[in-house]
Amino acid sequence: MQAGSVAERRLPRLSVVMVVGACRERGQYALDRLCAQTALDKLQIVVVDVAEASVRELVVPPGAPVEIVQAHGVDRWATA
């Protein structure tokens, strides 16, 4: 692939994965701060939402590189 090609420019330079549960205000604040970064076009943001389905949804600005993965009701990933 040639340096500076379109395909190369679309790859994120940094991927961020965040897990958000019942603390919606804290999760929304963190997501808002990530989406306010000047290098937003170089980021990929993945939010794993483990809160119950009845809580309010997170708000994502239009065009922000955010993918929300719904994992409602997950209370643990594995035993320690």
Output the pTM of the full model: 0.79
Residue for token pair 């389905």: 53
For the chain, domain boundaries: 6-70
Give the separation between CA 14 and CA 7, rounded to whole angstroms.
16
* pLDDT score recorded for residue 37: 95
* pLDDT score recorded for residue 4: 56
Q: Tell me the three-class secondary structure of 53-71, residue by residue.
A: CCCCCCCCCCCCCEEEEEC
In contact, 18 and 30? CB cutoff 8 Å? yes
Each residue's pLDDT, cut to its tens digit, for the chain (80 residues) gives 455 555 555 788 999 999 999 999 999 999 999 999 999 999 999 999 999 989 999 999 999 999 999 998 777 777 77
* pLDDT score recorded for residue 1: 45
* pLDDT score recorded for residue 79: 78
